[in-house]
Structure 1
Amino acid sequence: MSSRIVTGLLPVLGIAWILDLPGRLGAVVITEQYLAVVLGLAVLAGLVAKPLSGAWRWPDLAFALAAMGGWVWLAWNYEDWLLTAHLRGPEKWVPAALAIAGMLEATRRHCGMVLAVLGVVFMAYGFWGWLAPGLFEGAYLKPARYLLYVYNDSNGVPGLVLNVAANQIMGFILFGVVLTAVGGSDAMTRLALSLMGHRRGGPAKVAILASSLFGTLSGSTVANVMSTGVVTIPMMKKAGFPSRYAAAIEAVASNGGQIAPPVMGATAFVIAEFLQVGYGDVVIAAFLPALFYYYLLYRQVDRFAVAHGIEGEPRENLPKPGPALLGAWPLLAPLGVLIWFLFVLGYGAGKAALYSALAALALNLIRAPRQTLSLRFLADLLATSGRTLVPVILVSAVAGIVIGTINVTGLGFALTLALGKIAAAGGLMSLLAATAALAVILGVGMPTTGVYVVISVLLAPALVKAGVEQMSAHLFIFYFGLLSMLTPPVAIASYSAASIAGSDMWQTGVTGVKLAVTAYLLPFVFALNPALVWHGTWEEIAVSVITIAVAGFLLAEVLANRRAYGGGARRLMVGALALCIGGMTAVLPPASLPALIGALASIPAAWLLTRFAGSGQGASSRIPDDKTLEEGRTT
């Protein structure tokens, strides 16, 4: 059986559902029925795409069909089962067991062992959690009742997260695939080259701009790295950046694509559903943190280029800005349509993305009618979208197991109570640090959306109860789930970039953490100072922006250009100045007098710091060799 056909059916179903074709044809389809069919196809596609070999081939195919049949059986009987929920016979729980087993196996093959094991652990807790000791003792449930709750309840697998994936995320995946197919990726690279290629350290700044723009096409960090990195990493190496540094810049810039408005990663839609707010509200809240993420990375790259004398490309070797901007219409015009539908007309995110994808195809029809009308071209679009959707659907389904188990067993209440005691004993910073560490650890083997769902369900209530503003709490968890992609020992984004650069993976991972150090600090800033997510008065927001901007300026100056300050007490004094004036004022109450004084004092401090660095510039002209790098191993 061809997995291409099965995966191609997923976006076809999604398009029909988003455009409400069943309702227009007079058919009544309940949301859970649609979700069950989509999940059944995703499970079949996941198992068929990565089959077992040898003697297990045919039994594996039979298992895949049975697992899909379990979800289709749910869709077929869902209306009747709503009236017979008290009956839990084998005609219900046998298909449920097959369906969930197939879903977990497909998740293992596509998303890794960690996420599949997590699903099994929560299922085990649902069955036997009533035997757990003390605070973690769960409610007793009959096995058939718990299994069917996870299988068919709207608080279980066919619930909120799967609904987001099969509607909003599906629309944006289609949008990204169409934009790439009609030339949006190439147009983006040319535009970035024309705007940034001639600047100091130009190729690195091209990587930052190109990767942030590519985030509008794809919510995948690794896809971002592999798409833009093949162009930008060789350019950076040719300009004089060490291999490990070029790879790390690309990894950090690509990772930020998931937090860059107006089209953020899949997790942003889940945040909107969890908080019961519009997707536009999440975009607005994430705007300033995303801006500072790229601003601080840009500053570090710029100061590194100054310290090591790395210049940009000659203008005559680069595309002209005017023609590049005109040639970027395959990217910019559909994005304009998306913003219009989302923020002006107020359409739902999935429908807005779908209409924007159709607009991109319509524009491409004018430019390349034969390509656009080609059945092979359209089939490739559907198959590519389906392949991207399969792991997203599976992650969302496992998230349903986690949420359902927490709801029905009372585990969420127990964990919130336990974490509340931690916060009371060690303070808010202890709770934030524990949440950050857990998000990074889970992110080693899980996609960002999976990390966010698990941590937000378990820990977000405790953060809010401890005094963190609700949006800040959820963005805090989102950021650290994302930063697991850069954190060794399993820094997937850095290692993917290292494979292109030909650099040592561990050194690339360590360099990526250094470049992203401000990204590790930003979540703590907006957790303690919610003005950064627009939760405050204009005066509070203005003071916060000034303090954080200058704090980032100071930190970038020291981190990227530290050889220029000499050694010993001199460097220590400069570092202390940057951290105390910049970092501390960033987390003070934004309307307080100390914050205002710190904001005003930090501006001349930044000017003095750059003047101070200028005297030692010659000390940093040599770029350390990738092979020695004693500094990278000891810092």
Structure 2
Amino acid sequence: MSSRIITALLPVLGIAWILDLPARLGMVVITEQYLATVLGVAVLAGFLAAPRNGLWRWPDVAFGVLAMSGWLWLAWNYEGWLLTAHIRGPEKWVPALIAIAGTVEATRRNCGLVLAVLGLIFMAYGFLGWLGPGIFEGAYLRPARYLLYIYSDSNGVPGLVLNVAANQILGFVVFGVVLTAVGGSDAMTRLAMALMGHRRGGPAKVAILASSLFGTLSGSTVANVMSTGVVTIPMMKRAGFPSRHAAAIEAVASNGGQIAPPVMGATAFVIAEFLQVGYADVVVAAFLPAAFYYYLLYRQVDRFAAAHGIMGEPRENLPRVGGALAGAWPLIAPLGVLIWFLFVLGYSPGKAALYSAISALALNLIRTPREMLSLRFFADILARSGRTLIPVILVSAVAGIVIGTINVTGLGFALTLALGKIAAAGGVLALLAATATLAIILGVGMPTTGVYVVISVLLAPALVQAGVAQMSAHLFIFYFGLLSMLTPPVAIASYAAASIAGSDMWQTGVTGIKLAITAYLLPFVFALNPALVWQGTWHEIAVSVATVGVAGFLLAEVLANPRAYGGRVRRLGAGVLALAIGATTAVIPPASTAALIIAILGVVAAIFIARREGTHTDGALRLKPEGNTE
């Protein structure tokens, strides 16, 4: 019970702060004081959420209480310490050491070993970086000065990333939990069934729509898979999709929820803060890449279904569209409120999300007043919100260690210099490839936000210096951090879906890569052609959209239909042609005549192929519903 209360305290503190309750009560609270308090509670909640058993139980809890006390000590003394920053006595650095040690341990338990070790590596560099070789020699800092910089400076742990997590992300976590509690998830599934269930390969298209919408409610790919996959994966298998395909479709669709506007994953808020732009700017920039991501996935599913004769569900077995829309108001109305506050009135994302959550609760009060007046109902919302927030807050704290160390030691300048040499030797493409590889490798054991923060701080300046537009550089890093969820050997999203489908995990991971091929290729194009993130003239954007769209159209047939284009050689040639068309605007300026001609010819060819598909049936083979599913 005590664990549940501590966990629920996290969203309570955040809601009070976002709604300006301290100021309304005449209290003066500095932002860093609030952040230190939230982090202290999150650390203790992290210990309680992942406890040791047996004799270690109470010493373990005591360590969590001490770590929380270290952060509360900072919050209590922060205002006075602003005037005595030059004094670094044990009354400061001893609580700092305990607080940071507890934070790293709580992170290890709730977010994995990799992120905790990464935090310790950067801490070690902060203390010993002055012994580093060559350009990696860091500035010498007295241990107490470095420790207190990480502990209390606004460029350290209580800095930008933790501020985003404890304000904007917190608001959206509460919003997502409330939407689920008032029936938004069920309404979303019924709506997806009504709209897509009757189409060719209908269950898979239901999975795509439902999982993309569920990204609105959940910032976690795995949570998305486990929530919608238990419904959609069995449906796909019954329709005739092989187990590995059913699992991979769900994993890829769920992973895309974090890049799908208008409500993207937690990382989008961090991008906005890093670039000092509005959240709406990030949403607009992400729109076309996300649209292509889901377009290629949808078309691959459609062509696979056509090749294997997989039909949709009979309409009489599905909800009617009108009824599903009428019953979807617990999802649609709060989203409309969110968009109004966020994009029309210009409210901060966290406050807009909270007001939308309040509107969802108010609407549900009309429908089920008895349930809404239950104390248990609200307690469950707060507890579930807090449990979701624990890893988010802890990841943000470790990100603060990384950013603070890079700032105070000069490591960022050294890395930019080294990567600049790589770009000079191998070109910007080599630098992009190195960045993508590093993001995927780091993503094996880290949440997407953690990967993005680390890679963007280390590598984004070098990408920008090499000529990549700022927004393109940060979205590039975001995409490849996200792709670690789908990339074997540790494809967490694919493996979670495979466990539901009962499929081979490696085969599911490989199938997921094929289905998500757009996400692996498109970032290289928009890194070299910012028109795909809405940074260009309408002519440049139109040509870019046409070439990438045609490439996706052709590539989906090649990947999904083993008999596409009549043979292996012709199929390979079509694949190479599709990639060449898609890469056109990365090589040739999109405003050039050559790019326009390629776009027009590509569109004409796509129209011709689409007409041929409409007059030829390639569905002689139909897989057995429950037979050879592998």
Conserved? CA contact 2:342–2:348, under 8 Å: yes
Shift of 1:317: 0.4
- Kindly indicate whether the alpha-carbon contact (under 8 Å) linking 2:238 and 2:626 is maintained by their aligned counterparts in 1: no
Provide closer, same or farther for how the CA distance between residues 627 and 466 of structure 1 changes in structure 2, counting only shifts above 3 A: farther
In the aligned structure 2, how far is the partner of 1:99 from the partner of 1:626?
54
| Residue aligning to 2:397 | 397
Question: Secondary structure at 2:457's aligned position in 1?
Answer: helix
Match of 1:93 in 2: 93
Q: Is the 8 A contact 1:221 1:257 kept in 2?
A: yes
**Structure 2 vs 1, CA of residues 349 and 614 (structure 1 numbering), >3 Å: closer, same or farther?**
closer
CA distance in 1, matches of 2:273, 2:176: 21
Secondary structure (helix, strand or coil) at the match of 2:82 reads helix
Shift of the 624–610 alpha-carbon distance from structure 1 to 2, 3 Å rule, reads farther
Matches within 5 A, 1:5-24: 5-24=5-24
Residue deviations 1:72-96, cap 9 Å, x none? 0000000111011000010000000
d(CA) in 1 for partners of 2:496, 2:576: 35
Distance between the aligned counterparts of 2:184 and 2:164, measured in 1?
25
Which residue is 1:228 aligned to? 228
Letter in 2 for 1:224: N
Note the C-alpha offset of 1:563.
2.1
1:293 lines up with 2:293 in the alignment: yes
User: 1:587/1:553 Cα in 2 relative to 1: closer, same or farther (>3 Å)?
Assistant: farther
Contact 1:548 1:586 survives alignment (8 Å)? no
- Cα deviation for residue 495 of structure 1 reads 0.6
- Checking the alignment, whether the CA contact within 8 Å between 1:547 and 1:586 is kept in structure 2 is no
Query: Which residue is equivalent to 2:536?
Result: 536
**Which whole-Å CA distance do the structure 2 matches of 1:557 and 1:57 have between them?**
57
Q: 2:525, 2:585 within 8 Å by CA — same for their partners in 1?
A: no
Quickly say closer, same or farther: Cα 1:311–1:622, change in 2 above 3 A: closer
Counterpart-to-counterpart distance in 2, 1:485 and 1:544? 28
* Contact 1:564–1:614, Cα closer than 8 Å, also in 2: no
Q: Which string of whole-angstrom CA distances, capped at 9 and with x for unpartnered residues, describes residues 244-268 of structure 1?
A: 0000000000000001111100000
CA contact (8 A) 1:564 1:619 kept: no
- Structure 2 distance, partners of 1:570, 1:20, is 64
1:340 to 1:378, Cα distance in 2 relative to 1, 3 A: same
Q: Which amino acid aligns with 1:38?
A: V
Kindly provide the CA deviation profile for residues 491-541 of structure 1, in whole angstroms up to 9, marking residues without a partner as x: 010011111111111111110011111111111111111011110111111
Q: Distance in 2 between matches of 1:37 and 1:291?
A: 40
Distance in structure 2 (CA, Å) of the matches to 1:427 and 1:626: 51
Distance 1:569 1:608 in 2: 21
- In the alignment, what sits opposite 1:497? 497
Alpha-carbon distance change, 548 to 587 in structure 1, aligned in 2, over 3 angstroms: farther
- Residues 1:263 and 2:263 aligned together: yes
1:6 alignment partner AA: I
The corresponding residue for 2:431 is 431
1:626 Cα deviation (Å)? 11
**C-alpha displacement of 1:593:** 1.3
Tell me the residue number matched to 2:604. 604
Match in the other structure for 1:549? 549
Instruction: Say if 2:329 is the partner of 1:329.
Output: yes
Task: Tell me how far 1:562 sits from its aligned partner.
Answer: 3.1
Distance 1:625 1:368, change over 3 A: closer
Asked whether the 8 Å contact 2:308–2:619 carries over to 1, the reply is no
Question: Which residue does the alignment assign to 1:147?
Answer: 147
The verdict on how the C-alpha distance between 1:626 and 1:588 changes in structure 2, with shifts beyond 3 A counting, is farther
Change (3 A) 1:601 1:457: same
Cα distance in structure 2, aligned partners of 1:419 and 1:349: 34
- The secondary structure found in structure 1 opposite 2:591 is coil
613-622 vs 311-320, which moves further? 613-622
1:158 is aligned to 158
Cα deviation for residue 560 of structure 1 reads 0.8
Is the contact between residue 440 and residue 483 of structure 1 (CA under 8 Å) also seen in structure 2? yes
Q: Aligned residue for 1:525?
A: 525
Q: Which moved further from structure 2: 396-405 or 553-562?
A: 553-562
- Relative to the length of structure 1, the TM-score reads 0.97
Query: How many Å separate the matches in 1 of 2:280 and 2:396?
Result: 22
CA shift digits 1:170-189 (9 cap, x unpaired): 00000000000000000000
Q: What is the DSSP-based 3-state SS (H/G/I as helix, E as strand, rest coil) of the residue aligned with 2:581? A: helix
CA–CA separation in structure 1 for the residues paired with 2:628 and 2:514 = 18
Q: Distance in 1 between matches of 2:569 and 2:376?
A: 67
User: Aligned with 1:559: secondary structure?
Assistant: helix
Matched residue type, 2:518: T
Q: Give 1:577 deviation, angstroms.
A: 2.9
Which stretch shifts more, 596-605 or 120-129?
596-605
The residue aligned with 1:245 is 245
Match of 2:367 in 1: 367
Per-residue CA shift, 1:551-583, capped at 9, x if unaligned?
110111111113233434333333333233344
Confirm or deny that 1:76 pairs with 2:47: no
Mapped contact 2:269–2:279 kept (Cα < 8 A): yes
Q: Which amino acid aligns with 1:251?
A: A
Aligned partner of 2:28 in structure 1 is 28
Shift of the 376–618 alpha-carbon distance from structure 1 to 2, 3 Å rule, reads closer
Number of residues of Structure 1 aligned to a counterpart in Structure 2: 630
CA contact (8 A) 2:529 2:585 kept: no
Instruction: Give runs of aligned pairs for residues 399-478 of structure 1, distance below 5 A.
Output: 399-478=399-478
Query: 1:273 and 1:281 mapped to 2: Cα distance?
Result: 11
Contact 2:177 2:384 in 1 (8 A): yes
Distance (whole Å) between structure 2 residues aligned to residue 617 and residue 419 of structure 1: 52
Structure 2 distance, partners of 1:405, 1:616, is 62
Aligned counterpart, 1:193? 193
Alignment CA distance shift 1:443-1:177 (3 Å): same
Change (3 A) 1:463 1:623: farther
Paired with 2:627 and 2:80, the residues of 1 have a C-alpha distance of 67
Note the C-alpha offset of 1:49.
1.5
Which structure 2 segments of 5+ residues have no match? none
Distance 2:520 2:191 in 1: 30
Aligned residue in 2 for 1:563:
563
Cα drift, residue 35 of structure 1: 0.3
Which amino acid in 2 is paired with 1:401? Answer: I
Once residues 457 and 41 of structure 2 are traced to their aligned partners in structure 1, the CA distance between those partners, rounded to angstroms, is: 27
Which amino acid letter does the alignment assign opposite residue 410 of structure 2?
A: G
1:98-141 deviation line (CA, Å, top 9, x unaligned): 00000000000000000000000000000000001111000000
Secondary structure at the aligned position of 2:263 is classed as coil
CA positional deviation for 1:5: 0.6
- CA separation of 1:459/1:628 partners in 2, compared to 1, >3 Å: closer, same or farther? farther
Q: Is the 8 A contact 2:547 2:584 kept in 1?
A: no
Contact 1:558 1:578 in 2 (8 A): no
Q: State the secondary structure of the residue aligned to 1:485.
A: coil
Q: TM-score, normalised by structure 2?
A: 0.97
- The equivalent of 2:313 in structure 1 is 313
Asked if residue 590 in structure 1 is aligned to residue 590 in structure 2, the reply is yes
Aligned-pair CA distance for 1:608: 4.8
Distance 2:477 2:174 in 1: 27
Secondary structure in 1 matching 2:319: coil
Q: CA RMSD in A?
A: 1.8
Report if the CA contact (8 A) 2:252-2:516 is conserved: yes
Q: Distance in 2 between matches of 1:127 and 1:456?
A: 23
Aligned to 1:509: 509
CA contact (8 A) 2:557 2:564 kept: no
Q: 1:614 to 1:424 in 2, by over 3 A?
A: same
Counterpart in 1 of 2:487?
A: 487
Question: CA 1:2/1:484 → structure 2, altered by over 3 Å: closer, same or farther?
Answer: same
* Letter of the 2:328 counterpart: A
Name the counterpart of 1:181: 181
